[in-house]
Structure 1
């Protein structure tokens, strides 16, 4: 999978960008704040319908712009060329496939992008929500019905939480239908999450162990969000009184989490910030390799500010893996990273939101 053409309008400082990308390695260099990361952000939007940056959604828009738009010509396996697009006006996202309106799920199913960026250490050290997003993106690209199931789960969860916030007595029959819905969907979601992690685990062990051999054998641990000893429906019923006091549902698939532990660093707190970054990078590479194994083509790989995030030895190790994979890779930096200088690449200079091809 690769982007042949990328057009960006109205995204942060990128007023009007139109790029022809190389099928393998593309490098964007320029000063800090020039707009390099925004190029990767545009690509990421096509695959996730959200940014990897934190902050208000309104910050995505160029100053004075009413809307933003990202368009790409996407070459998939079998030499299929697909035209995809994502636009946003006010608070509404609009997806397009081959010029026709489409739902966001259909767009995300077609375009797969994984990204390593300065905030990626949150996958290891941040909230469980970050790890669920990582997990559920992978599950969705195996089972597209996952998105609909997750949306239905969220609707049922919202209804139960509304009852709790309204102070509805624990014995009320109003809880039962929503708890039944939650329990059935949670079991389905949990089953697919476990299946995905089982397939991811060998890839994860290999990629993380290669980046952090000094930490010993890695171990992926998963918690589904409710006790393994009883069904969720019964637990939700028993938990109503305590959830009423809290004002929210404290058990379920929305509370799931997974952690990465190591033989010589069994607690997350034992890792340095640099080790957290390398562990997160290993997770990203493992997910990309599993995607390639399942789909016969690699996702698009984005590496933001590579030289400042990794030392030169780790840069070289990552680039060597990716260069032999056939993946399309987009890299940013203030200068051309040393490990890339001997490899064929297309180089773009970025300055004040303008991109100029140099090679």
Structure 2
């Protein structure tokens, strides 16, 4: 799939950007703070309905702007075209597909963007929430039943947590229906996550062997969020006292995590920052590869500040890989990376939120 047109209004320093993108590599060069990353962020928002950058959602809005909007014309590899729109006024997001108002889930199912950026090492060294997001995005794009199960689970979790904070009024009879719903939806989510990780495992092993051969074989470990060999309903019942004391649900798929262990670096702490980045890149490329195999087309690949994140050898390897795959790439840098000197690319100059193609 590829974005042919991208229009951005009111996103950070991009007040009015209108781009015609190439099918292959698109490079955005300019000084730090010029707005390069915001272009990638706009594409990512269409795919995830959130930014890959940290900070409050309010920071997305250009200073003084009442709202922001992103519009894109997307072409799939089967030549199907889709018009996508995402807007925000105040705290409310609105999504459109081909001019019709839709749920956010329908919008992000049509557009798939994976991203490697300076904060990507958090996928390896950061909190479990980042790894769950990565995992659930992948499951969402291969399992039609994941989103309704996830919504059911989140609704039940919210209700149970509300009851846990209600003090003396809480009873087992009030908790049981929500625990039953958590168990049913959570068991489905857990099974889908484990199935996805089994599909991902060989792709990830291949990427790691290419990028980090010195670390040896990998082991992918998964923790589902409650005790192995026990039903979630049983665990929730046994933890009611602790959960009431803490005011929230301490077990379930919302507490799941996964990790990687290397033959020659069995603990996360054994990895250097550079190795964390390469491991994160391997995860991104493995997920993109699996998406392509299951959906018949590559997702759009965003690479933010590639030259500062990877050495020249790894830059060249990634560029060759994505060019051979025929993926559309959105890449930023303060100058044209050396790996692209002899590779066909459409280059844009970004300055103070203004974007112009370089001929």
Q: TM-score range by the shorter chain?
A: over 0.9
- Partner in structure 2 of residue 165 of structure 1: 165
Q: Where in structure 2 are the equivalents of 1:141-290 lying within 5 Å?
A: 141-168=141-168, 172-290=172-290
CA–CA separation in structure 2 for the residues paired with 1:170 and 1:44: 42
| RMSD of aligned residue pairs (Cα, Å) | 1.0
1:349–1:356 contact (8 Å) kept in structure 2:
yes
CA–CA separation in structure 1 for the residues paired with 2:214 and 2:337: 25
- Partner in structure 2 of residue 34 of structure 1: 34
CA–CA separation in structure 1 for the residues paired with 2:168 and 2:86: 41
1:163 to partner: Cα distance: 1.5
CA–CA separation in structure 1 for the residues paired with 2:109 and 2:329: 19
1:48 to partner: Cα distance: 0.3
2:163–2:170 contact (8 Å) kept in structure 1:
no
Q: Where in structure 2 are the equivalents of 1:325-344 lying within 5 Å?
A: 325-344=325-344
1:168 to partner: Cα distance: 4.6
Q: TM-score, normalised by structure 1?
A: 0.98
1:170–1:240 contact (8 Å) kept in structure 2:
no
- Partner in structure 2 of residue 345 of structure 1: 345
- Partner in structure 1 of residue 324 of structure 2: 324
SS in 2 for 1:50: coil
CA–CA separation in structure 2 for the residues paired with 1:189 and 1:329: 31
CA–CA separation in structure 2 for the residues paired with 1:93 and 1:162: 25
1:144 to partner: Cα distance: 2.9
SS in 2 for 1:251: coil
Would you say 1:7 and 2:2 are equivalent positions? no
Change (3 A) 1:171 1:10: closer
1:170 to partner: Cα distance: 7.3
CA–CA separation in structure 2 for the residues paired with 1:23 and 1:74: 11
- Partner in structure 2 of residue 19 of structure 1: 19
Structure 2, gaps ≥5 residues long: none
CA–CA separation in structure 2 for the residues paired with 1:206 and 1:316: 18
CA–CA separation in structure 1 for the residues paired with 2:264 and 2:214: 8
CA–CA separation in structure 1 for the residues paired with 2:88 and 2:143: 27
Aligned residues: 359
Structure 1's consecutive aligned runs of 4 or more residues displaced over 3 angstroms after TM superposition are 168-171
**Per-residue Cα deviation, 1:309-356 (whole angstroms, up to 9, x for no partner):** 111111111111111000000100000000111010000000000001
**Per-residue Cα deviation, 1:41-67 (whole angstroms, up to 9, x for no partner):** 000000000000111111101111101
1:171 to partner: Cα distance: 5.4
